[in-house]
């Protein structure tokens, strides 16, 4: 839509709408990685066990492999006696079978001797004379034993597709001898900064009115946290042609395109125009019902999700955490929502909020009390002083002092 002056208008969406409705289809290609490089990477599909685990019946205790029936009825007062006919060594095949009235010494993890159906713990035995033990507690069949397929059965799914690999998943893959895994490549997220006032962080001297680019460094870190590969596109001046050319040039090589827009209304309009011309289907929304972060743009251009962020660093980071990180994760094949650290706390004071928008309030947390950190959205220190944030939902008009709130904590 455009008005008579050629100015584009788009409906403002809620954050919930955006999370449900803006679901780009793009997924990164598969790549094969060794386990040592696969932590937090996302398998393209489920991985199944090529064989059972542990693969042989194993002892879970130090003791003696026995026929359970030979221990029935024994007690401290009336021990049973068994002849020890051998000992199993770790990592080796048993060379002695258990026959009625005999036992074979077993280390924890050793292979159960043929003929045995239980292992009695060494604590419930004593050497009666050389070569003979007394047993003072009965064992049931299966006691002290892990079956050959008790941990994993051959063909079982051991790791699902679409969920980042955790340390224990890597352990399980190693245990069944799967030493490489097919995972989604990290989404390449190209980050452009715009604004005639913006200069690189390494600029030694600033002219009056210039500011260093804080947003790109912080966004790159959020991209990495979301499993993406940040690519710094650089600073583009407030010129629609230059911006469009820069975005168009980056599009083929990236999986997600992020633009931290200039802070003025004019600069934001130019960003929207440039994005609108990039490719179909184009802009999905321009404006989110969130504070801070209203002037957010979401688009999909030639199969690449495009996120236009507000010019204020703080607003940009708040929005990217809520909306951008889930998109990066999705493009990287992650199909689950990952838990975030959080804590319950009581608000130290009243916090006002307008209905119809999601309010993100930064807080410091101390001894169960969440104290809001206030300041205009231009202040980055509000974010660095905060331990986390609370969300005041669209339908609320604010929260009273003493309200219990859920604080999402910065890790």
Q: Which is nearer to a second copy, 162 or 282 (CB)?
A: 162
First and final C-alpha spacing in the chain: 42
CA dihedral 243, 248, 250, 256 (to 10 degrees): 90
The footprint of a second copy on residues 105-134 (CB under 8 A) is: 107-111, 122
Site size toward a second copy, by CB under 8 A: 98
Binding segment for a second copy (CB under 8 A), chosen from 184-192, 216-224, 281-289, 395-403, is 216-224
Distance from C-alpha of 198 to C-alpha of 213, rounded to nearest angstrom: 6
Helices 240-250 & 265-276 angle (0-180, nearest 10): 50
Q: How far is the CB of 274 from a second copy (least distance, A)?
A: 17
* x-marked contacts with a second copy along 296-315 as a string, rule CB under 8 A: ---------------x-x--
Instruction: By CB under 8 A, tell whether 242 contacts a second copy.
Output: no
Minimal distance, residue 301 CB to a second copy, in Å: 26
Residue 219 in the binding site for a second copy (CB under 8 A): yes
Q: Residue 274, exposed/middle/buried by CB under 10 A (0-12, 13-18, 19+)?
A: buried
Site for a second copy in 319-378 (CB under 8 A): 338-343, 375-378
Residues 283, 293, 242, 272, CA torsion sign:
positive
Please report how close the Cβ of residue 176 comes to a second copy at its closest, in angstroms: 7
Kindly tell me which of 94 and 278 has the beta carbon lying closer to a second copy.
94
The nearest distance, CB 297 to a second copy, in angstroms, is 16
Segment 51 to 80, residues that bind a second copy, using CB under 8 A: 53-56, 58, 60, 62
How far is Cα 319 from Cα 308, in angstroms, rounded to an integer?
10
Pick from 176, 246, 285, 351 the residue near a second copy by CB under 8 A.
Answer: 176
DSSP state of 123: G
Q: With 0-12 CB in 10 A as exposed, 13-18 as middle and 19+ as buried, what is 293? A: buried
**Phi, psi at 106, each rounded to 5°:** -130, 130
**Going along 188-255, which residue ranges are E strands?**
188-194, 198-199, 211-212, 229-236
Q: In this structure, are residues 35 and 179 in contact, taking their beta carbons and an 8 Å threshold? A: yes
CB of 108 to a second copy, least distance (A): 4
CB of 236 to a second copy, least distance (A): 13
The piece of 1-9, 206-214, 272-280, 393-401 that touches a second copy (CB under 8 A) is: 206-214
Least distance to a second copy from the beta carbon of 320, Å?
9
Residue range at the interface with a second copy (CB under 8 A); choices 71-79, 297-305, 353-361, 403-411:
403-411
Query: Cβ contacts of residue 11 below 8 Å, gap of 6+?
Result: 285, 287
Per rule CB under 8 A, is residue 185 in the interface with a second copy?
A: no
């Amino acid at each position: 839509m455009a008005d008579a002056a050629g100015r584009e208008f788009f409906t403002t969406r809620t954050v919930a709408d955006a999370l449900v409705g803006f679901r780009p289809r793009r997924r990164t290609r598969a790549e094969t990685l060794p386990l040592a490089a696969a932590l937090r990477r996302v398998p393209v599909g489920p991985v199944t066990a090529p064989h059972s685990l542990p693969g042989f019946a194993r002892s879970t205790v130090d003791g003696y492999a026995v026929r359970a029936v030979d221990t029935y009825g024994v007690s401290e007062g009336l021990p049973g006696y068994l002849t020890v006919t051998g000992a199993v060594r770790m990592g080796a095949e048993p060379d002695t079978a258990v026959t009625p009235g005999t036992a074979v010494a077993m280390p924890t993890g050793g292979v159960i001797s043929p003929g045995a159906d239980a292992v009695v713990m060494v604590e419930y035995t004593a050497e009666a004379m050389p070569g003979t033990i007394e047993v003072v507690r009965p064992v049931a069949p299966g006691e002290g034993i892990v079956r050959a397929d008790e941990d994993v059965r051959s063909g079982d799914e051991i790791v699902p597709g679409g969920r980042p690999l955790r340390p224990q998943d890597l352990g399980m893959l190693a245990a069944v001898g799967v030493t490489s895994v097919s995972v989604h490549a990290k989404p390449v997220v190209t980050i452009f900064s715009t604004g005639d006032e913006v200069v690189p962080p390494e600029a030694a001297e600033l002219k009056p009115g210039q500011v260093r680019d804080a947003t790109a460094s912080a966004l790159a870190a959020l991209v990495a946290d979301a499993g993406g590969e940040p690519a710094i596109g650089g600073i583009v001046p407030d010129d629609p042609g230059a911006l469009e050319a820069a975005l168009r040039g980056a599009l083929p090589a990236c999986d997600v395109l992020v633009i931290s827009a200039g802070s003025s209304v004019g600069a934001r309009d130019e960003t929207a125009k440039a994005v609108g011309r990039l490719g179909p289907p184009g802009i999905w929304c321009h404006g989110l019902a969130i504070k801070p972060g209203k002037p957010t743009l979401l688009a999909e251009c030639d199969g690449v999700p495009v996120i236009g962020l507000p010019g204020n660093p703080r607003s940009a980071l708040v929005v990217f955490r809520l909306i951008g990180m889930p998109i990066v994760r999705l493009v990287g094949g992650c199909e689950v929502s990952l838990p975030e650290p959080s804590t319950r706390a009581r608000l130290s004071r009243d916090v006002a909020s307008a209905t119809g928008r999601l309010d993100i309030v930064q807080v410091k947390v101390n001894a169960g009390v969440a104290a809001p950190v206030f300041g205009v959205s231009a202040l980055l220190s509000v974010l660095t002083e905060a331990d986390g944030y609370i969300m005041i939902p669209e339908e609320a008009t604010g929260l009273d002092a003493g309200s219990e709130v859920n604080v999402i904590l910065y890790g």
